[in-house]
Each structure stands twice: as structure tokens, then as C-alpha cells.
Structure 1
Amino acid sequence: MRQLPDADTLTTTGLPATGQGKILLLACGALAREVLSLIRLNGWSQYDLQCLPAILHNHPGRITAAVRDAVLAARDRYDRVLVLYADCGTGGTLQAECSRLGVEMLPGAHCYAFFDGVETFAARDEVTAFYLTDFLARQFDAFVWQPLGLDRHPQLLPMYFGNYDRLVYLAQTHDPALTERARDAAERLGLAFTRRFTGYGDLAHALERNAT
């Protein structure tokens, strides 16, 4: 099986585009594995994937400019560009910029919402839940534990997570090893653990809709 690229690096798949129905998927690096899996499973040769670094999620104020620059750099080589980001903490600026550029982006506040289904997620109203996806279960130390300084200052744990009562792992795949990583993260945070299988949710629906 072909090794999937690291999700926190710039990734491009497919042949150089020359129009002719080619669509650029401009995605958060946290979605690289999921998008590549969907492309492979469905044989969507019309898609090329370019991922921006997943670490931008720790700096949401930088996401809109990074997406804008990437769209402007690539759009002349493609018939369409589909932005695989939700709002992701940009406070509506990403949606406004995508509208200005005339490109579609994913619905919802963040990837938790579109994996779970935007309407379903909103109806749950789980305000005291901390969420992990497959990516975040795999990269918990690099994207949560270390950036928050909890590896060096564990006394900060109540300040960051005192208002949460459970960790909900939204699983895209049935992977026992990832489930154990997510369970371990919950234990380290002192939270109850719940696993909820979502599959690819609205991400799969968006790619299927745009492939036709």
C-alpha cells in the first residue's frame, strides 16, 4: 500500500493540471489522509490535492491569508478550486474571502462538525466536550499537549480543561490503535471517554457532489 504523506506538510497529488475538468482540492493538512483515501476509493482522477500545513489550526488568524495566497497561485491551472476548510476559528473571514474569490468551502465551524454532520453536530450541543478526530488522536502530543505547554507545566491542566467533562473521539476509521491513543489522551486530560464513529461525514458528500 502506498505510504500516505505526513499531514502537516505541503502535499500535492495528481499530474500537472491543464484545465480539462481538473479540480484543485485545497485542504487543511489535517485532512490529507481522509481526502486521499476518498480519492483512491472512488477513483476520482479529476481531483488534485494540495494541503496547507495542519499546524495553521494553532494559528487561525493565519488561515485566511494562506488559503487566499494558495488559491491565487493555483487557480489559473484549474477549472475549479474547492477549499476543504470549515471556518476553523477564522471568525467568518475565510468564508468572506472564499466568496470574494468565487470558490466553495466546506460548511460548519470546524472539522468536528462536518465529520459528524453539521446539523447533527449542532443538535448535540455538547458544550463541555473536547473533540479528537483520527488526525488529532494520532497527533495529540504535537497539536495539543506540547503547544499548550502541558508537557512542561502540567499544573496548567485545570486552567485549559477545567470546563470540560469528557473527550469525544470522532473516529473516521475503525482503528483500535487510534482508539487507544484517544483513550489515553482522555485519561491524561482527566476526562471521561466516548468514541463515536462518523466515517468521512460531510467531507465525503462534498467531494462526491463536486466530482459530478
Structure 2
Amino acid sequence: MRAGAALRPFGPGLWLGGGGAVDVLGFRYPTRMAVIEGEDGVALWSPVAATPALVEAVAALGPVRAIVAPNHLHHLFVADWTTLAPGARLLLAPGLARKRPDLAPAEEIDDGTTMPAGLAHAVLRGNAITTEVVGFHPPSGTALFTDLLQQFPRGWHSGWRGLVARLDLMCAPEPTVPRKFRVATRDRAAMRAGLDTVRAWPVERVAMAHGTPVPMDGAALIDRAFRWLGP
């Protein structure tokens, strides 16, 4: 199928759509969602603002059958999409249902959850900021991250914010794990257990909510980004 201009293909059956920037603790974050084609519709991964152009582009691919919020920070636009697709299956990262009890009925994702549209997944636990669900789309070889991998363009933040962004590794030469998430990883064994699942996938590409998608050598990028975690 073909989508509108608000979505761009990133491999067979996988589309990416950018949203506007959101403010978090004084910092502007660009946003991005993934749209995954299934047999009878599409799944939305970390949905961004439901602009008319994006809603139209998604509708061109098929009805929304599932909506995934992959960590408990990525929930701002979920309710809008559930209103647009009231019959869609709603899957929430661990902890998000307690934060947003209004997002119901919903399923909390665990290791044994059957994901929509043929996605594989890994739950990366052990971080005090958030537990993140990382997805994998086999037809395109794409790993889907939200916050654990980030890369802001140089100059995106200025002044003291720019200094903090550099110190936090938010604008490193390639996507990596921000320093705050490294420091907040209190249980490294739990994080490594989830990452072992990610490393077992045949990853070719990497897409993230806050950074330029990586079209090749994705597995090597992930290894470099998490080298601080140890083997």
C-alpha cells in the first residue's frame, strides 16, 4: 500500500512519521512514530500527535488495529489515537497503566505478550527512569527504540540547555544511550537480560523517537551504544 506524504517508508511494511516537538522539563524533543502493516490493518508504535495529514496517511494503509506505548513517558497522544480507533488493541509498557488509568481497557506488556503485526519485543528493565519495550520488525530488520537511544542535531538546544545536552550525550556523533539513563540503570543484570534478546535479533536498521533513523549496520550501533553496560 501507499501512504500519504506524512509517512515515509523505512523498509517493507514499516513506515515512519514525524510529529511536532514536545517540551519536557524545559527541553524540546522531536517526536517520531512507527506504523507497521499487519494482515488486517496497522499497528502504531509510540504514536505522535494525530494531525489531519498523519491520520489520513495512516488511514491509507488500513485500519488501526493496535496502539503501543513502549515506555511510561510516551503516552501524550495515545488517548487521541484510541478515540480515532476505538476498537484498537491498546498495549502499554510496564507502569504506564498506573500513571494513566484513563487509558483503559489496556494490556500491560510483559515478556510473554503476543505483539501485533508480527513484531518481536524485549522488555528492558532495571532503569529508574522508565522500563522500555524495544520492538523488532522482522521483514525490515528494524529495531524500534523510544528513549534509550537518542541523537539530537547539534544546535537543537542552545545556551545552558545545549551544554546539558552535550554532557548528557544527547547530541553525540551517533545515537547512543543518554548519560541520565546510564546513571539511572540501577539493575544492570536486568537491563542486560533484556538487551540479550535485542542482540539476538538480526537487526539491520534502527528507528527511535528522538533521533535520525539508522538505515544500516544497526546491530553494531546497538552494541556500541550499550558498551557501557558490559557483556
The verdict on a shared fold, with TM-score over 0.5 as the criterion, is: no
Q: TM-score, normalised by structure 1?
A: 0.42
The structure having more radius of gyration, on CA atoms, is 1
